[in-house]
């Protein structure tokens, strides 16, 4: 075959291949990326089904993150139930919720009977709902503070019992028999748990979960470390008891020195509300200018913001961390 014919055939084949490639790229059928993923990964499910699964995963991750955030803040459902259990309420939770609902309805009816402005109704509803919850928080804090006050005596009693040759379980039983609730009840639960075969570390951790107290955590850490590494537990308990007593003494001094500031803060925070109620009873038209006039609304909003800022500043001043 002559070189000229070979050159002509090569040029023809190259030109035909180029035309075919261009035609396929322009007019040819392109494979869908989803189908390509499905072909490469049989488990991949394209279309609406895959979109639905992706949305469900995003919602699940968002719900988990939100639950973790509420858990850190301390108002998650688990934290609320723990607070209710720590308050040792004499009534079940559903009854407390019923009382909150009835109190809200009663306050709204009272506000309506007094012909108060419309904005007072949601405030009355929130106040009726918050009052029982505030009582639960107050009762919980009171029990925890009482437990903290009894803890130094319990540590000294346990140290004396350990020096006399008793075990940790029997020393806790002595505390449960000699002291008053709530500390005696908690140590009695721990003593009974150890007697039934539950490890000491687990029983103490459960008590810490029931009673959130930093001093109690020091006590539990000391007991656990002594069981793992050895040492004189009675001496450690004496030092922890002395430290807790000194902290309570300093805290009492701080409370006495800041009592005037706390009283002043309470008066300054309550005074605007008292004056508002008094003026509303004596001259309703005069007070309603704050809600009917644009300037009055701005002044009311500015007053509320300044009141909140003042409350925060006063709390920061009188709240001394030890």
* Residue pLDDT, tens place only, 276-310: 888 888 888 888 888 888 888 888 888 888 888 98
Q: Is the pLDDT of residue 273 over 60?
A: yes
Q: Is the pLDDT of residue 46 over 60?
A: no
Query: Angle of helix 233-257 relative to helix 120-163, nearest 10 degrees?
Result: 140
Nearest to 290 by CA among 278, 298, 281: 298
Q: How far apart are CA 240 and CA 248, in angstroms?
A: 12
Q: What is the pLDDT of residue 60?
A: 59
Question: Per-residue confidence at 7, pLDDT binned at 50, 70, 90?
Answer: very low
Q: Are 215 and 240 in contact (CB under 8 A)?
A: yes
Instruction: Write the burial class of residue 159 (CB in 10 Å: 0-12 exposed, 13-18 middle, 19+ buried).
Output: buried
pLDDT of amino acid 129 = 85
**What pLDDT shows up at residue 75?**
55
- pLDDT at res. 55: 54
Rounded distance, CA 157 to CA 237, Å? 9
Tokens coding 126: 């929130």
Residue owning tokens 């850490």: 221
On the question of a cis peptide bond just before residue 182, with omega within 30 degrees of 0, the verdict is: yes
- Quote the pLDDT of residue 97: 83
Q: What are phi and psi of 209, to 5 degrees?
A: -65, -30
**Could you tell me which of 199, 195, 244 has the C-alpha nearest to residue 218?**
244
- Across 115-119, 134-138, 142-146, 161-165, least confident range: 115-119
pLDDT tens per residue, range 219-250: 888 888 888 887 788 888 888 889 888 888 88
Write 104-109 long-range contacts (CB < 8 A, 24+).
Answer: 104/128, 104/129
Q: Which CATH architecture is the domain 150-247 placed in?
A: Up-down Bundle (1.20)
Cβ contact 154:230 at 8 Å: no
Q: What pLDDT does residue 44 have?
A: 45
Which pLDDT belongs to residue 6? Answer: 47
Alpha-carbon radius of gyration of the chain: 36
How would residue 27 be classed by pLDDT, with cut points 50, 70 and 90?
A: very low
- Angle between the 48-73 and 77-87 helix axes, to the nearest 10 degrees? 30
pLDDT tens digit sequence for 54-113:
555 555 555 555 555 555 555 555 666 777 777 778 888 788 888 888 888 888 888 888
The Cα–Cα gap between 158 and 200 comes to 15
Are the C-beta atoms of residues 140 and 204 closer than 8 Å to each other? no
State the number of CA atoms in the 13 A half-sphere of 94 facing the CB: 0
Q: For the chain, give the percent of residues with pLDDT over 70.
A: 74
Whole-angstrom distance, CA of residue 71 vs CA of residue 57:
21
Give the rounded distance of the alpha carbon of 65 from its chain centre: 13
Give the residue-averaged pLDDT of 40-49: 48
Contacts of 281 (CB under 8 A, 6+ apart): none
Strands (E), 68-186: none
pLDDT recorded at residue 56: 58
111: nearest Cα among 102, 123, 100: 123
Reported residue count of the chain is 322
What percent of the chain shows pLDDT beyond 90? 0
pTM for the whole structure: 0.62
Position 85 scores a pLDDT of 78
Mean pLDDT of the residues in the chain: 76
Residue with the larger pLDDT of the pair 38 and 150: 150
Higher per-residue pLDDT: 3 or 267:
267
Short-list 198, 174, 233, 11, CA closest to 220 = 233
User: 62 exposed, middle or buried (CB, 10 Å; 0-12, 13-18, 19+)?
Assistant: exposed
Query: CA 137 to CA 212: how far, in whole Å?
Result: 13
């Amino acid at each position: 075959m002559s070189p000229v014919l070979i050159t002509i055939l090569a040029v023809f084949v190259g030109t035909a291949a180029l035309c075919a490639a261009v035609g396929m790229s322009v007019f040819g059928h392109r494979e869908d990326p989803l189908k390509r993923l499905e072909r490469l990964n049989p488990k991949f499910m394209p279309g609406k089904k895959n979109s639905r699964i992706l949305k469900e995963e995003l919602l699940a991750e968002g719900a988990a993150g939100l639950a973790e955030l509420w858990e850190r803040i301390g108002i998650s459902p688990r934290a609320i139930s723990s607070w209710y259990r720590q308050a040792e309420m004499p009534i079940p939770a559903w009854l407390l919720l019923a009382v909150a609902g009835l109190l809200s309805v009663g306050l709204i009816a009272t506000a309506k009977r007094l012909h108060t402005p419309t904005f007072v109704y949601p405030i009355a509803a929130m106040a009726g709902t918050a009052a029982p919850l505030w009582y639960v928080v107050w009762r919980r804090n009171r029990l925890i503070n009482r437990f903290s006050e009894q803890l130094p005596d319990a540590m000294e009693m346990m140290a004396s019992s350990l020096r006399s040759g008793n075990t940790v379980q029997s020393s806790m039983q002595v505390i449960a028999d000699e002291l008053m609730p709530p500390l005696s009840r908690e140590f009695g639960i721990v003593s009974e748990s150890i007697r039934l075969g539950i490890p000491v570390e687990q029983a103490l951790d459960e008590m810490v979960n029931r009673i959130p107290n930093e001093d109690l955590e020091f006590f539990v850490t000391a007991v656990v470390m002594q069981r793992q590494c050895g040492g004189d537990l009675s001496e450690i308990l004496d030092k922890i008891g002395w430290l807790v007593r000194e902290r309570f003494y300093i805290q009492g001094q701080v409370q006495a020195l800041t009592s005037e500031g706390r009283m002043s803060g309470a008066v300054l925070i309550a005074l605007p509300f008292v004056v508002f109620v008094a003026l509303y009873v004596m001259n309703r038209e005069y007070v309603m200018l704050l809600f009917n006039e644009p300037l009055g609304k701005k002044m009311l909003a500015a007053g509320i913001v300044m009141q909140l800022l003042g409350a925060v500043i006063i709390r920061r001043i009188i709240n001394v961390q030890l």
